[in-house]
Structure 1
C-alpha cells in the first residue's frame, strides 16, 4: 500500500500514537489548532490545564509515574515561555518531556515585524537547556524529526525535547510512511570496568551504595547486590521507596552528618544513577560532603555527568540496569559468597543518628508524612516547596517506587505540586495521590484545582498553611535581615475548593488526619484538606 496523505498536524498525532503516547497536556490556541485536527479520531486523551506551566508540570508528574515521556502542546510565544519553568525542572530532574509548540509562519521568522506571539528566536531560547530544539521547516521532515526526538527521550539522560512547527507548515500535506519505532541502544560498561568493579566489590569490607533517580528501575538487582555486599543503601529524594523497610535501607539525605559519616567510613562507595548535586548532597551548602578520591565509583548514563561533581576513581558509562546485571553475573561466576560487613548494624546506626539530628519540628512533620503512608498504603505523595516536604527530603521512606517526589530539589520551582499530582493521577488513575503543598505554593497553581476537577484526578490536596513563606522568613531572620515580602495573604482555601466543586475540610487537630484521609480517598475525584501550622493542634512539636 502507498503512503497515506495527511496534514502535518494529523500526521503528528499518528506519530505520537505510534510511539505509545496516550495523553497530551495543552491549551489550544489559533497558533496550534491545526495540530489538534487529528486528535478527535485518535486514542490520545487531551487534558487542559489552566496555564501552560501547569501543562508542563502535569506532563512531568505523568512521566515520573508512567515511565513514558510527558507530552505538551502549546502555542508560540507566551505558551512556550509559560512552559519554560516546567522544562527547566524536567532538565534538572532528568524527566523525559516532549514540548511541541507553534511558531509563526516561516516567511516571518527572524524579521521582527510585530506578529502576534512573536519572539526574536524562540528555538534558540529553548536550545540553551533542552536536549534538542528543532524548527520543522519542511513538512516531509516530520517523521525523521519525531524519530530523533523519541530516540533522545529514550536513550541517554532524559530531559526536555522541543519541536516547533510554523503555522504555515501545520496544514501542509505530507505522505506519511509506515511508522517506525526502532530500538534505541543503551550504554553498557566495557568488560574491563566490570571486572575492575567486581574485584573492588570482593575486596570491600565496608561498602555503601548511593542510589539516585537513575537507579530506580534497577531496584531488584540493586537489592541483590546490596545483600551480596552487605552494604547500606542511601537513597536520594528521587530514589525514595526503592527498599521500603529493608534492613539495609537508609532513606536519609547525604546532607546529614550521620549519613556523611557512613559514607566517609566506607572502603567502597558505589554511586548509581545519581547527579550528586547540591540539593541532595550539600543541602546546607556547608561543603561538608566527604572527599572520596580512592573509594568512589560512579555509574551514570551521561558521560558529561561523570565529568562533573565528585571525581571518581572509576567512572563507568552505563545504564544502572546494565551495569548491575553484568556485575552480578561476574560476582556469581567468581565467588558468589556474601560478605559480612555489619551492613545492617551500620544502616541502623545511620538511620537513628540521622533522625536524631533533625529538630523536633522536623520530626513532627515527618510523623505526619508517615501518617499519610500508613493510612493510605501505596499512595503517591507529590510535594511542592513547603516545610513538611523539606523535612521529608531529609528523612522519609516511601512505601513504593515513585511514591515520593517533589520540586524542592534541583530547579526548585514553586507551584509544581498541584499540576504534577494531576499528571501522576492520570498516569495511575486507580492510585491515590496526595499533593502536599504550602499556602504560598498552592497560590502559584491555584486554578489547577479546576483542572483536577475536570480530569477527575484522584488527588487529595493537603495544604500546609503557615500564612506566608515561612521558610524564607526564618532564613531572613537567621541572616539578620528584617523579613520583607514573606506574608502574602492566603485565601480561604475551603471556599476556593467549594467554588471548584471540591469537598474540603480544615483540621483542628492532626489526630483527625487519618479519618480525613480515608474519607477523601473514598470520594471520587479531587478533595482538599487544610492543616494550619499554628492553628491545627499537633502540626508542630
Structure 2
C-alpha cells in the first residue's frame, strides 16, 4: 500500500505506543500535524520550540516511551538545542525531527537563503544517532534505527532530519513491525552476572539498594520492591530517583539530605545500584559518606 512519508512516520511511532507530538507546525511538518490530530493524537504546540523539547523529554520519563518533538528548519532547531542537551545528560529517549530545505535548494550557489543552516553537524555531537531521510524508502530503517539507539543501553536522544523534498513522497510498505521484531526489548543481565550479584547479596551483612530515576523510567518499581523485601535493607534515593516506590516508604531515604541515608551508606558493605550513573550528586560512590 502506498503511503506518504509523513503518514508512515506516524505509523512507525504508533507501533511504539507513541500518541503525542510536540512542536510548532511549519511547511515541512504541517501535513504531519494535521494527520496526527485526525488520528486522535495529542498535538501540543507551545509558543517556543524549547518548551516543546522539554515537554517531550518529560513525556519520555512519564510514559517510558520515546518522546517525539519537531523543530522547524533553522531557528526552530536552534531554539530546541537546549532540550536536546537536557535529553542527553538526563538519558531520556527523545526523537527530535528537524525540518530542512530541499536538497536541490541547499546545493545551489545562492546566498541569503531563508531559515537555512546545516543542522545535522550542529546536533550530531549531542545525540546518540543522527540521520537524514533523503529518499522515501529510507523512512523505516532510519526511524527504527533512531528508536533502537534511543531506547537501547543507556537511553538518550536521536535526531532525524526531514528535508522538504520527501514530505509528500510515497512508498509501498507493509504494516509496521512491533518493537520486539526489530530491536531488543526487556533488556536484562546474563545468567553469570545475575549469579554473581546474588552471591554478593547473600554474603553481605549490611547491604543497601541505591535507586535512581532509571528505575522509574523503566517502570521496574515492582521488581525493585520485591528485591528490597528479599534483601530486607534500606532503599537510598538519588536526587533523580526521589519518587517513592509503593510499599517502601518506611525504609526509603534521600541520599545526603537524610542523616539516616548517610548512616546507612557509611555502614553498608554492599551497594546494589539500580538506574543510576553514580554521578556527582552521589559523590561518584567514592567520597564523602562512601569513603568509609
Asked whether the two chains share a fold, i.e. TM above 0.5, the reply is: yes
Is there any run of 5+ residues in structure 1 with no aligned partner, and where? Answer: 293-541
- CA RMSD in angstroms comes to 2.5
The offset of 1:176, in angstroms, is 3.0
Q: Does residue 115 of the first structure (1) align with residue 143 of the second (2)?
A: no
TM-score by length of 2: 0.87
Match of 1:229 in 2: 231
**Is the 1:17–1:43 Cα contact (8 Å) retained in structure 2?**
no
Superposed, 1:47-196 pairs within 5 Å as 47-109=44-106, 113-119=111-117, 121-183=118-180, 184-185=183-184, 186-196=186-196
Match of 1:218 in 2: 220
How many aligned residue pairs are there?
284
**Is the 2:99–2:161 Cα contact (8 Å) retained in structure 1?**
yes
Q: Distance in 2 between matches of 1:180 and 1:190?
A: 26
Match of 1:272 in 2: 274
Q: Does residue 26 of the first structure (1) align with residue 23 of the second (2)?
A: yes
The offset of 1:5, in angstroms, is 1.8
The alpha-carbon distance between structure 1 residues 211 and 40, as it changes in their structure 2 partners (threshold 3 A), is closer
Match of 1:456 in 2: none
Superposed, 1:399-478 pairs within 5 Å as none
Is there any run of 5+ residues in structure 2 with no aligned partner, and where? Answer: none
The offset of 1:237, in angstroms, is 2.8
Q: Does residue 15 of the first structure (1) align with residue 40 of the second (2)?
A: no
Q: After the TM superposition, which of the residue ranges 219-228 and 265-274 deviates more from structure 2?
A: 219-228
Q: Distance in 1 between matches of 2:257 and 2:278?
A: 11
Q: Distance in 2 between matches of 1:142 and 1:211?
A: 38
The alpha-carbon distance between structure 1 residues 228 and 104, as it changes in their structure 2 partners (threshold 3 A), is same
**Is the 1:147–1:181 Cα contact (8 Å) retained in structure 2?**
no
Q: Distance in 2 between matches of 1:29 and 1:223?
A: 46
Match of 1:203 in 2: 203
The alpha-carbon distance between structure 1 residues 249 and 103, as it changes in their structure 2 partners (threshold 3 A), is same
**Structure index of larger Rg:** 1
Structure 1, residues 81-133: CA drift from partner, whole Å, max 9, x if none? 111111211222222211111011113447784321111x3112111011111
Q: Distance in 1 between matches of 2:274 and 2:16?
A: 29
Q: Does residue 281 of the first structure (1) align with residue 278 of the second (2)?
A: no
Q: Secondary structure of 2:76's partner?
A: helix
Q: Distance in 1 between matches of 2:125 and 2:278?
A: 22
Q: After the TM superposition, which of the residue ranges 66-75 and 184-193 deviates more from structure 2?
A: 184-193
Q: Secondary structure of 2:172's partner?
A: strand
Q: Distance in 2 between matches of 1:187 and 1:13?
A: 25
Q: Does residue 247 of the first structure (1) align with residue 245 of the second (2)?
A: no
The alpha-carbon distance between structure 1 residues 274 and 133, as it changes in their structure 2 partners (threshold 3 A), is same
The alpha-carbon distance between structure 1 residues 154 and 169, as it changes in their structure 2 partners (threshold 3 A), is same
Q: Distance in 2 between matches of 1:162 and 1:144?
A: 14
The offset of 1:79, in angstroms, is 0.8
The alpha-carbon distance between structure 1 residues 191 and 44, as it changes in their structure 2 partners (threshold 3 A), is same
The offset of 1:255, in angstroms, is 6.8
Q: Distance in 2 between matches of 1:23 and 1:246?
A: 32
